[in-house]
């Protein structure tokens, strides 16, 4: 038996990047997956990748905007109807937004980033934790960022949202531990995903790879992390192998945040 045999896991932002990587690892371990994303084509691509890695995987695709609470409630209900339970929740969907110093950061842009990165995480917690409390079990992993535990600059909306996710994680962990539920967060640093590439292109539109090299210069491991490495961490936290880990924010950044 593999760690996720008979277990169902919701992954938001499952159409690309970190969400897809976690889905691939969990599918290989026989988990049943509900993948949520606003990008229907991305979800289809994720399912194709999963089928190549785990042909017999059970996969439910749910197109939804996590910033809309009604759509969040529906993806939770649809998952329970299909699988009967929610054993794991990777509360991961997020956007970066446009980079600008605070005085030039657009108010609409600020609200947009918070709607997805903070409100979306809260809505997910609100509706999934209700199901897990009734079950008396479950594990949640929220995605914050190294930008949620230290300053990055030029990212007011992202920084505010990701620091908020840390607070939500710790708060829910102390509320729900008594029900056999873990709530933790991961804080990815420079993991090479389409979103990170987009961020580097904002920093240097003419040579984003040069921007990446500059970002990596102070990193102790001198490289970008891989989505596969992150997928292994998420799977560990959701699997039941980490039952006494609760309320923690785990950086996965090659040790870079420890230098500041």
Where residue 117 sits, what CATH number does that domain have? 3.40.50.720
> What does the pLDDT read at residue 152?
86
149 lies in some domain = yes
- Active-site residues: which are they? 158
- Under the banding of pLDDT at 50, 70 and 90, the label for residue 28 is very high
Q: What contacts 127, CB < 8 A, 6 or more positions away? A: 72, 73, 76
Which pLDDT tens digit goes with each residue over 179-232? 999 999 999 988 888 877 888 888 888 888 887 888 788 889 888 899 999 999
CA–CA distance, 174 with 7 (Å, rounded to integer): 24
230 lies in some domain = yes
CA–CA distance, 168 with 185 (Å, rounded to integer): 10
Count of CA atoms in the C-beta half-sphere (13 A) of 143: 27
212 lies in some domain = no
**Cβ-based neighbour number of residue 147 at 10 Å:** 21
254 lies in some domain = no
Nearest CA among 22, 2, 11, 20 for reference residue 231: 22
CA–CA distance, 10 with 128 (Å, rounded to integer): 9
Which pLDDT tens digit goes with each residue over 103-156? 999 999 999 999 999 999 999 999 999 999 999 999 999 999 999 999 989 999
Which pLDDT tens digit goes with each residue over 39-87? 999 999 999 999 999 999 999 999 999 999 999 999 999 999 999 999 9
Into how many domains does the chain fold?
Answer: 1
> What does the pLDDT read at residue 206?
87
Residue 1 has pLDDT above 90, yes or no: no
129 lies in some domain = yes
The domain of 98 spans: 8-189+225-249
49 lies in some domain = yes
Q: Read off the pTM.
A: 0.93
CA–CA distance, 15 with 18 (Å, rounded to integer): 9
> What does the pLDDT read at residue 205?
87
- Under the banding of pLDDT at 50, 70 and 90, the label for residue 260 is low
100 lies in some domain = yes
183 lies in some domain = yes
């Amino acid at each position: 038996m593999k760690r996720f045999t008979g277990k169902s896991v919701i992954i938001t932002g499952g159409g690309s990047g970190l969400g897809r990587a976690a889905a691939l690892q969990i599918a290989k371990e026989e988990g049943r997956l509900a993948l949520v994303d606003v990008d229907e084509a991305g979800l289809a691509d994720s399912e194709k990748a999963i089928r190549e890695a785990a042909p017999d995987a059970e996969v439910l695709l749910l197109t939804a905007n996590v910033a809309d609470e009604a759509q969040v409630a529906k993806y939770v209900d649809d998952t329970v109807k299909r699988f009967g339970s929610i054993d794991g929740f990777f509360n991961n969907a997020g956007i970066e937004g446009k980079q600008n110093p605070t005085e030039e950061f657009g108010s609409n842009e600020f609200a947009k980033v918070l709607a997805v990165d903070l409100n979306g995480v809260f809505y997910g917690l609100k509706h999934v934790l209700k199901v897990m409390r009734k079950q008396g079990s479950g594990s949640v992993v929220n995605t914050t960022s190294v930008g949620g535990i230290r300053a990055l600059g030029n990212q007011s909306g992202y920084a505010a949202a990701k620091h908020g996710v840390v607070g939500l994680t710790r708060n829910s962990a102390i509320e729900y531990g008594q029900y056999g539920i873990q709530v933790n967060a991961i804080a990815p640093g420079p993991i090479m995903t389409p979103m990170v590439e987009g961020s580097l292109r904002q920093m240097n539109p003419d040579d984003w790879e040069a921007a990446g090299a500059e970002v990596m210069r102070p990193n102790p491991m001198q490289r970008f992390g891989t989505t596969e490495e992150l997928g292994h961490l998420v799977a560990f936290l959701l699997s039941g192998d980490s039952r006494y880990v609760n309320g923690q924010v785990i950086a996965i950044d090659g040790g870079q945040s420890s230098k500041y």
